[in-house]
């Protein structure tokens, strides 16, 4: 089983002084048992690099372009993230799919571009409330995941992280139950063939210090992609500590 991973997705939050405080609180993390990382707004990546360089804490982007360079105003390339020392890049987050109309095919292209630049894509997949109520959860997961697997090939999936983030659990305070999450995680793992055990499958959606341990107790939950609770060092570290096996 891969080492647990806890990643913070700051979304569009932070400021230079607030980040300094938060990063100072995280910098001494010992990653021997649980890997830790933060994904700030891209403009703060240089600040993360300065503060976290030489620490055990990794950093990454929240999105990137599928293109290498050129006339794409407002975009950031995989190579630029690499230049700033990023290890990870979150791709296909439901907020990107919803507000920026990102398709499964675009997300697959971005994953391929990330791997080409030696970044670890953190592929986000998950169903909406309506899809869950219609009994379509696993069909949605299958479509979102298999588009990427078919594009990259199974072997390349060994260099990715998959995050199951049910849309209805994001920012709502209503986490999936450990059983609901485990069912989907086991399904995702079953689709990963020979590389299944080297892929970290994270859960995301209202993970907090008080529900993290019960989620991490499930056999196929290898860590978390944390939104709101990653903005406070104490809460984020409490979640990371709950992931120690
Ligand atoms: O979207 C998420 C992480 O990518 C989850 O956000 P919350 O932890 O705030 O629910």
Cα 158 to middle of ligand 1, angstroms: 24
Residue 11 among known ligand-binding residues? yes
- Residue 165 appears among annotated catalytic residues: yes
Which residue owns the Cα nearest ligand 1 atom 6? 227
ipTM of the complex: 0.99
Catalytic residue among 66, 102, 127, 165: 165
DSSP H or E run through 105: helix 104-116
Beta strands 200-203; 88-91: pairing state: unpaired
Whether the Cβ atoms of residue 82 and residue 119 lie closer than 8 Å to each other: yes
**DSSP labels, 166-232:** -GGGTTSS-PPPHHHHHHHHHHHHHTTGGGGGGSEEEE-SS--TTTHHHHHTSTT--EEEESGGGGS
pLDDT, averaged per 10 consecutive residues of the chain (245 residues), comes to 94 98 98 98 98 98 98 98 98 98 98 98 98 97 98 98 97 95 98 97 98 98 98 98 96
Q: How far is CA 171 from CA 145, 165, 208, in A?
A: 23, 11, 11
DSSP H or E run through 120: strand 120-125
- Angstrom distance (rounded) from CA 211 to CA 235: 11
- Residue 151 appears among annotated catalytic residues: no
- Angstrom distance (rounded) from CA 124 to CA 97: 10
* CATH for 5-67+74-242 (3.20.20.70, 3.40.50.2300, 3.20.20.120, 1.10.1510.10): 3.20.20.70
| pTM beyond 0.90, yes or no | yes
Report the pLDDT value the prediction gives residue 152, as an integer from 0 to 100: 98
What would the pLDDT profile of 114-164 be if each residue is shown by its tens digit? 999 999 999 999 999 999 999 999 999 999 999 999 999 999 999 999 999
Residue 171 among known ligand-binding residues? yes
Q: Where are the domains of the chain?
A: 5-67+74-242
- Angstrom distance (rounded) from CA 221 to CA 69: 36
Measured from the Cα of 163, ligand 1's closest atom is 4
Catalytic residue among 93, 102, 131, 185: 93
Pocket test for ligand 1, best of 205, 206, 215, 231 (most atoms within 8 A of CB): 205
- Angstrom distance (rounded) from CA 245 to CA 241: 9
Which residue owns the Cα nearest ligand 1 atom 3? 227
Residue 223 among known ligand-binding residues? no
């Amino acid at each position: 089983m891969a080492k647990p991973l806890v990643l913070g997705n700051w979304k569009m939050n932070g400021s230079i002084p607030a980040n300094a405080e938060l990063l100072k609180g995280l910098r001494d993390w010992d990653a021997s048992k649980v890997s830790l990382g933060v994904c700030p707004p891209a403009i703060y990546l240089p600040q993360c690099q300065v503060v976290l360089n030489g620490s055990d804490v990794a950093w990454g982007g929240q999105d990137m372009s599928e293109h290498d360079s050129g006339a794409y105003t407002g975009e950031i390339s995989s190579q630029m993230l690499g230049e700033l020392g990023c290890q990870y890049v979150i791709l296909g987050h439901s907020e990107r799919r919803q507000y920026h109309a990102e398709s499964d095919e675009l997300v697959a292209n971005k994953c391929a571009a990330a791997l080409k630049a030696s970044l670890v894509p953190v592929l986000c997949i998950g169903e909406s409330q309506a899809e869950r109520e219609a009994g379509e959860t696993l069909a949605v997961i299958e479509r979102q995941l298999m588009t990427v697997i078919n594009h990259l090939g199974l072997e390349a999936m060994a260099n990715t992280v998959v995050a199951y983030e049910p849309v209805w659990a994001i920012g709502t305070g209503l986490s999936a139950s450990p059983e609901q999450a485990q069912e989907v995680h086991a399904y995702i793992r079953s689709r990963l063939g020979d590389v299944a055990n080297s892929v970290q499958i994270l859960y995301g959606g209202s993970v907090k210090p008080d529900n993290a341990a019960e989620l991490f107790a499930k056999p196929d939950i290898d860590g978390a992609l944390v939104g709101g609770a990653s903005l406070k060092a104490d809460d984020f570290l409490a979640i990371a500590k709950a992931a120690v096996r």
